[in-house]
Amino acid sequence: MHVGVDSFVSAVTDPASGRVIGAEERMQHLLEEIELADRVGLYSFGIGEHHRPEYYDSAPAVILAAAAARTFRIRLGSAVNVLSAADPVRVFQEFATLDLISKGRIDLVVGRGSFTEAFPLFGLDLADYDSLFTEKLDLLLRIRDSEQVTWSGRHRPALTGQGVYPRPVQDPLPIWVGVGGTPESFARAGLLGLPLMVAIIGGEPRQFGPLVDLYRRAGAQAGHPPEALQVGLHVFGFVAESSQAAADAIYPGWHEMFTKVSRERGFSPPTRRQFDATSGPDGAFFLGDPDTVAAKIARVAGQLGGVDRISLQMTNPRLAHAGLLRGIELLGTEVLPRVAGA
């Protein structure tokens, strides 16, 4: 199983000094984090896409290009690219260019996103949430399969044989589908024979077992070989020397993030009891010392019938840069060997 890190590049307030880290400094910290992940042998580093004031990842392809020029082995990718709000032609061009810069180390994970700000920002109707993604994914796959594309749809002007360049190093460019919890999304990825990235942000990971089974059945019935039906997990997580230290480092930022989201969506405010339950053996957060995190990775992979990769979203608005660097180091030097030996 491959182990990596995802980042939403959140704005950070230093927990010791109370100083807000500026955007320029935060970007430098991010590149240091990616370089360290490369050095300690982690498999991948993904950058999310948000259009909100608390995140600096609205242009992930630009960040990934900077990271590609400063790394050597680690795979780089989106986590996820909000394809519904983007032009598939431009997305392919950007990630094909990234693939050239990185010498073939790019993964494109596309999805609809868990926030909706991108839709009004780019003049799209949220009522078209499903049809936009379905149509744009179809076009993206057409572009991947052929340099000259003839295609028509409802949400974008037709293509009548135009060429889309450049072409990537990898043929085909890996395109994953990022999904939440709807059965239709799992089945569609299986029917298309595309690798699946499951975002687990709440509940119990084992509850996704039937959906992963649905994905594999749909793929098999469509005639896709088992090796094409890869499963990845995107989860919240953090590694520290002890489980208590990990919880103490992450809880303040977790409470800040989920208080804001709960207020926006009309949910009850989050509590420490919820955090502890979510961080427990059966919860969605992969949080603790190296033994605890490695054991949870192995256990969840077994519950889901096998997992090809797992990416821990480790950024947090109240986590010091040094703490995050240490978490990445422990993930690579302590958790990864345990997972590989399991």
**Do the Cβ atoms of 332 and 40 come closer than 8 Å?**
yes
Task: Determine the straight-line distance between the first and last CA of the chain, rounded to whole angstroms.
Answer: 10
pLDDT digits over 8-56, tens only? 999 999 999 999 999 999 999 999 999 999 999 999 999 999 999 999 9
List residues bridging with 302 in a β-sheet.
none
Query: Is the pLDDT reported for residue 170 higher than 90?
Result: yes
Residue-level pLDDT at 259: 92
Of 316, 317, 293, 329, nearest in space to 1 by CA: 293
Between helix 60-70 and helix 88-102 the angle, nearest 10°, is 10
Q: Which amino acid is at 65?
A: A
**Confidence band of 332 (pLDDT split at 50, 70, 90):** very high
Residue-level pLDDT at 114: 80
Residue-level pLDDT at 341: 80
User: How many angstroms separate the CA atoms of 102 and 63, rounded?
Assistant: 13
User: How many angstroms separate the CA atoms of 274 and 278, rounded?
Assistant: 6
Query: Is the pLDDT reported for residue 342 higher than 80?
Result: no
User: How many angstroms separate the CA atoms of 239 and 332, rounded?
Assistant: 10
pLDDT digits over 232-260, tens only? 999 999 999 999 999 999 999 999 998 99
User: How many angstroms separate the CA atoms of 173 and 342, rounded?
Assistant: 30
Residue 38, CB-side half-sphere exposure with 13 Å CA sphere: 19
Of 124, 38, 82, nearest in space to 336 by CA: 38
From 210-214, 256-260, 321-325, the region with the lowest mean pLDDT: 256-260
**Phi and psi angles of residue 256, each rounded to the nearest 5 degrees, phi first:** -65, -50
User: How many angstroms separate the CA atoms of 92 and 143, rounded?
Assistant: 7
pLDDT digits over 262-276, tens only? 998 888 989 999 999
Residue-level pLDDT at 113: 81
pLDDT digits over 281-293, tens only? 999 999 999 999 9
What SS3 state is found at 268?
Answer: coil
**Confidence band of 69 (pLDDT split at 50, 70, 90):** very high
pLDDT digits over 84-135, tens only? 999 999 999 999 999 999 999 999 999 998 889 999 999 999 999 999 999 9
CB neighbour list of residue 184: distance below 8 Å, 6 or more residues apart = none
The verdict on pTM exceeding 0.85 is yes
